Every structure is written in structure tokens, then in C-alpha cells.
Structure 1
Amino acid sequence: MLYRRPNSRCWWTRFTTPDGKEVRRSTGTEDKKDAEEYEAKLKQELWRVARLGEKPKRTWPEAVVRWLEETEHKASRQDDINLLRWLDGHFGALLLDEITTDRIDQAAKARKGTAPATKNRMLALIRAILRRAERQWGWIDRAPAVRMYSAPNQRVRWITRDEADRLLAELPEHLSDMARFTLATGLRRANVTGLEWSQIDIPRRVAWIHPDQAKARKAIGIPLNADAVDVLRRQIERDPKWVFTYKGRPITQVSTAAWYKALERAGIEDFRWHDLRHTWASWHVQGGTSLQDLMAMGGWSSYDLVLRYAHLAPEHLAEAAARIESGRTLSGTSLQALQA
């Protein structure tokens, strides 16, 4: 039988298979005629599985559940969950072989007002699940092609020290301390909000991020400068476990209304919390820190990821450029004569 759920616009089907199993599944359509056709097709397929022993066809929710079970170690697992919840409204309980390139395109287009890079993260997740369903699980014969969006190079948005001082002054104390610590260490948001005292050694001025907490799945040793230590000392005795808390609880959200209001009062536009990390890296490069050292301190897995900051300090190439100076122009006129 077909029916509607209270919070769903699509028709749902419910019936019992020849081997006695109850099926409840979204048809993925609001049109009743299309829903009836889907139901009839599904009943036929399940009859062939029960009576003829054919390989059962798997659904998108089944693939999602298995994917999440097999990727519990991913640092970005919560991001995956958020994207998959959104996709549920588009893929519903579709069979995997019903998810075509066109359906995937439609889902991406439905994310209106979303940057190409953000859409690409969703598309990459869909592609990864479908490829695993094909190549590892044997659930589909061939995964559909996934067309990615052309995205501009990842931006590097950073602020000056004067702008940072204005922002820190406008933020409430708990966010100001966390922002100041980020500017001193370059740690990602999740590593700051989840920081525990067991990861801190103030006398040695070091902190560490465990492999399961790092995006690249490698342990990171964090040198603590005077600014970072000053922030940490203000947090001592506030909580026995968590470094940063608010009203006795660990902080999970930083991009709050208070953050955006502080940006507005400070006169800073187009700036995200993650841009504090870009600012930290930019200040380091401008201060003479080598890209190799920056890569180690920032926990990046690829040298290409730190090259985006190289243009901020071209003067480090001046010595190399001077190696072929001859003191003469190509025409033979001396540089000294031109300068006289």
C-alpha cells in the first residue's frame, strides 16, 4: 500500500515480500502514479530475489549505514553525517542503481547559494560511497560518473595585527581567549574546542594533538609561545579536563552570533573562524618562518598546502636572484652608469 508520512512530501510504500519480510520504503516521488510504478517494480524485484535467488539490490540508506560504520576513524566524520542527512531528502531510499549522474547533478544544483568547493565536498562523498559499493562491497556493477564543479583556488583570507586586536577586543572573553590561542598556535577549530589539559605541558611550553584528532591522522607537536601560554594560564582551575569552557561546559560552537557581531563591530568583513589559522600562517611567513617549518607546525600532510602562503614573503628569494647579478645590462651598459 502507498501512504504519506507526516513530515514527508514523498509517497511511501509498505508491503510484505514472498518470504515474509515487511518492506517500508520511500518511493522518492511526490507523484502518486510514479509511486505506484515504483512500488510495482520493487515488488517484482524482491519476488525475483526471494523465488529465483537473484542478488538483492541495495539501497542508498544501506550504503550510508555501512559507510559510516567503516569510516568511524575519519576526522571529518561529523561533516559526512551532516551532508548525508541533507542528501536523505534527495536520495531517500533509492536503490543504488537508481542513483544516476543526472540525479547527482540535480542534488548538487539544489544546494543553492553554496560555493562550488562546498558542493564538491558533497559530490566527493557521494562518489566515494558509490565507488566503495562497486569495488569493495560488490553491491552495484558500476558506479555512475560524478561531475565536479570548477572551483577557484582555495582562498587565503587573513587580517592584520591591528584588525586582530580590534576583533579580540570585541569578542566575549571565552571566544577571545580561543581566538587568541588560535592566532598563537594555528590549531584548527576542533583541536582548540576539544583541547584537554592532558595534552598540555606548560613548563615545557608544548602541546600535542593525537593522531585520531588530527586531520592528516598524524600526531602534531605544538610549540607554545608566550601568547599561547598566557591564554592557558588564564584557563587553569576552570575545569579539570577541558581547557576552554563556558559556564562550566566545554565549548563546541565558535561561529556564533557573538562571533559575527564582533566582526561587524570591528569592521572586518568576509572572515571565518578558520581564517584565524590562515592569519597565523600568513604572519609566520611574513615574519621569516620557512615553509618547511610552517608545514611541520601546522600539521599539513602536503607541501602544496603551504605553498599558498609563499607569495606573502617573496623577499626570501632575493638572495637567489642576486646570484646571477653581473652588474651590467644586456646591452653592455653598466648598472652603475645608469644609476649615476
Structure 2
Amino acid sequence: MLYKRGKTYWIDFTAPDGQRIRRSAGTTEKSQAQELHDRLKGEAWRQIELGALPRVTWDDAGLRWLDERQDKASLNKDMSELAWLQTYFRGCFLDELTRSRIQEVLEIKRNETSPSTANRHLALIRAILNRCIEWGWLYHAPKLRQYPEPKKRIRWLRPEEAACLVTYLPAHLRDMAEFSLATGLRQANVTGLCWEQVDLIRHVAWVHPDEAKCRKPIGINLNATAMAIVLRQTGKHPVRVFTFRRKPVKQTNTHAWKKALLKADIHNFRWHDLRHTWASWHVQAGTPLERLQEMGGWESVEMVRRYAHLAPEHLAEDSARIDRVLSQLQGHGTNMAQPDKTTMVKTLVTT
């Protein structure tokens, strides 16, 4: 039946299984309220008597996803992506989200940003729809095509570039940037570092599992540089290590950061690239990949191998083998004679 609360119509009926359905129709028009009443009552009958799936909207699926994924490290990213998707999927029933409709929306995101960003939205849609199958809201999810992504170079700074950058940063950002370069911690773990996570006597710190991207605890050995930076922060705040005007820092991608990059003539560089820089320096200094994986809190050594090309010294002996072949060409009128050490030194000095 229909009844009014104020000017708005409400729906009230009992489903075939005895469940009472009572909700607002969201309208002051009786004909619209009656139409919704009849549709809801018909769907309830089909679900009970015919075993049909309930018709659920994308909005409800998104809310349940967020509710069940409260422990997810990247929950804020999911919320941001869902907010964008709501522009196109708000009020849509799950069975209306066809492959072509979803791909049209992803194409908009790809044109606005990049293939990789569109793929991240695609991954979220796919995960939610697959979970809807588990919830009994869908029989199957549409198969979605990922966009090919170009391989990106790892962006890192040479020591002299990093030294130049930090000189242009204000004190609070300089400390956090240098701490990132000394420890390799992710931005959120630096800005969110608390004193209870630091042991000044043992020169160690740690990241709790619920704060780590890999959802595993990370131990940090505070080297001399990191210790000096931490000690400079003592007495500024009772809880947080890094502060600005005695308040916790929430954001590092600020105007001051961008201004420093401009002054240092450093382009295409994000705060997260400080972590890439730290890893690159370690590999070039000879740190084994397995140790680097543990220090950086990566889930697999494969994620660390992207830095391996920066330390090819172990291939020197193999690379030299072809010298014996090339030396045989010297007697055939070629100009491949190897310079002596004196010539090589002079060349390096003058270039």
C-alpha cells in the first residue's frame, strides 16, 4: 500500500517470504510512487518464487564494497575513483552495466588522463562486479579489455640533483624529503610516522601492518642521516614525528614542493620518486636485491628487479669475452685497436 509522511509517499508491503518492505518512494507524485511500489513488489515475487536475482544499483554495490574493504590500504584511492564513476553510473542497475557501456566510460577516463589511470578504474569496476557475483547480485560480470600501457622509465635523481632539490625546500619538507631518501619509506608512512613507532635507543623504527601497502610490518634501520633528522623533530609534537608549525603534515605535493622542483630545474618528478631514488642508489651501491626487498617492504623480489639494470657490474667479465673476438679484427684493416690505459685516462679527464 501507499501512505504519506508529510508530502512524500511511502511504500509498505509484505513479500512472499513474509519480509516486510517499507521505504520512501522519494516522490510527492502518487502515480510515480505506485509505479515504484508495483515494480518492487513484482521483483520481490520473482526473487522468492522464481529464484531471480535482486536488482541492485551500482550505488549500493559501491557502498557495500567500501564497507567491506575498510582495512584496504588504498581505500582512499577507491573512494576517489568511485566518486568519478558515480558521475556515469549513478542509479544504474548492475544488469544494465554492459561491456560496451563500461568501456565507453573508461574511454572518457583514458582520454582525460592516461591508459594506466583508465586501467586502475577498470580494475576497481572488475573487482566490485566480481564481488557482486559472490553476494548473489549478478550471475556473471562482463569481460573488460585493458588498455595497453607503455613501459615507463624509473624516475630517480643523481645525488647532486637531490642535493640541489632539498636546498630549495622549506625546512619541514626538506626533513621529510631527506628522511625519504635515507629510508625509502612511502609518503604516507613518512607523514604518518608517530613517536611510538620510533626507538631512539636502538636506532630503529617500524611501520604497522595496517599502515603498510603490503599489509605486513616493515622494520626500518635508522642510519646516521635518518637519526639526525628524527632527533631534530623531538619536542615539536607529542604524537607525530614530522610537523609544520607544530601540526601534523597531511600533504607533501604542495606549492612549495612544486616551486622547489622548478627552481632545481627538475621535471617529471613526483614525491614517490624519492623512493625510486633511494632504491636506485642502494642498487648502485651494491645492496643485494633480496635485502632491498626487505628494507623497502615489497611483496616480491620481482618488484625490485626493475632497479637491477642500474648495477650491471656483475656482467663485466661476460661483457669482456667479446673483446677477444674484436681483437681479431685488428689485423684486417679495422680501427678497433684498444687504447692503452694512459690514453683512456686522458680521454676521461678531458671529457
Q: What's 2:312 paired with?
A: 314
Deviation at 1:16, TM superposition (A): 4.2
- Which runs of structure 2 are paired with 1:64-83 in the superposition (5 Å)? 64-83=62-81
Secondary structure of the residue that 1:222 maps to in structure 2? strand
Instruction: Provide the rounded CA distance (Å) in 1 between the counterparts of 2:330 and 2:104.
Output: 65
Q: What's 1:114 paired with?
A: 113
Aligned with 2:164 (options 144, 163, 166): 166
Instruction: Describe the superposition over 1:33-87 as per-residue Cα deviations: whole angstroms up to 9, x where unpaired.
Output: xxxxx99997764231244435421111111111112111111111111111111
- Which runs of structure 2 are paired with 1:267-278 in the superposition (5 Å)? 267-278=265-276
Question: Which amino acid letter does the alignment assign opposite residue 142 of structure 1?
Answer: H
| Percentage of pairs with the same residue | 49
Q: What's 1:123 paired with?
A: 122
1:263 aligns with 2:257: no
The answer to whether the 8 A contact 1:300-1:306 is kept is yes
The 1:267/1:321 distance shift into structure 2, 3 A limit, reads: closer
Question: Which amino acid letter does the alignment assign opposite residue 113 of structure 1?
Answer: E
Instruction: Provide the rounded CA distance (Å) in 2 between the counterparts of 1:317 and 1:15.
Output: 76
Q: What's 1:34 paired with?
A: none
Instruction: Give the alignment's TM-score, normalised by structure 2.
Output: 0.81
The 1:122/1:231 distance shift into structure 2, 3 A limit, reads: same
1:289 aligns with 2:287: yes
Q: What's 1:46 paired with?
A: 40
Question: Which amino acid letter does the alignment assign opposite residue 150 of structure 1?
Answer: P
- Which runs of structure 2 are paired with 1:127-166 in the superposition (5 Å)? 127-134=126-133, 136-166=134-164
Deviation at 1:232, TM superposition (A): 0.4
Secondary structure of the residue that 2:154 maps to in structure 1? coil
Instruction: Provide the rounded CA distance (Å) in 1 between the counterparts of 2:271 and 2:33.
Output: 47
List runs of 5+ in structure 2 lacking aligned partners: 1-8, 15-20, 27-31, 332-336, 341-351
The 1:131/1:40 distance shift into structure 2, 3 A limit, reads: farther
Q: What's 2:217 paired with?
A: 219
List runs of 5+ in structure 1 lacking aligned partners: 1-13, 26-37
Instruction: Provide the rounded CA distance (Å) in 2 between the counterparts of 1:119 and 1:195.
Output: 32
Deviation at 1:223, TM superposition (A): 1.2
Secondary structure of the residue that 2:241 maps to in structure 1? coil
The answer to whether the 8 A contact 1:46-1:56 is kept is no
The answer to whether the 8 A contact 2:283-2:310 is kept is yes
Secondary structure of the residue that 2:112 maps to in structure 1? coil
Instruction: Describe the superposition over 1:150-177 as per-residue Cα deviations: whole angstroms up to 9, x where unpaired.
Output: 1122431011111111111111111111
Instruction: Provide the rounded CA distance (Å) in 2 between the counterparts of 1:295 and 1:129.
Output: 31
The 1:166/1:94 distance shift into structure 2, 3 A limit, reads: same
Instruction: Provide the rounded CA distance (Å) in 1 between the counterparts of 2:24 and 2:90.
Output: 14
Deviation at 1:113, TM superposition (A): 3.2
The 1:18/1:126 distance shift into structure 2, 3 A limit, reads: same
Deviation at 1:258, TM superposition (A): 1.2
The 1:310/1:42 distance shift into structure 2, 3 A limit, reads: farther
Q: What's 1:279 paired with?
A: 277
The 1:327/1:286 distance shift into structure 2, 3 A limit, reads: closer
1:235 aligns with 2:233: yes
Q: What's 1:187 paired with?
A: 185
The answer to whether the 8 A contact 1:100-1:144 is kept is yes
Instruction: Give the alignment's TM-score, normalised by structure 1.
Output: 0.83
The 1:331/1:315 distance shift into structure 2, 3 A limit, reads: closer
Deviation at 1:319, TM superposition (A): 4.7
Instruction: Provide the rounded CA distance (Å) in 2 between the counterparts of 1:88 and 1:65.
Output: 11
The 1:291/1:41 distance shift into structure 2, 3 A limit, reads: farther
Instruction: Provide the rounded CA distance (Å) in 1 between the counterparts of 2:256 and 2:329.
Output: 63
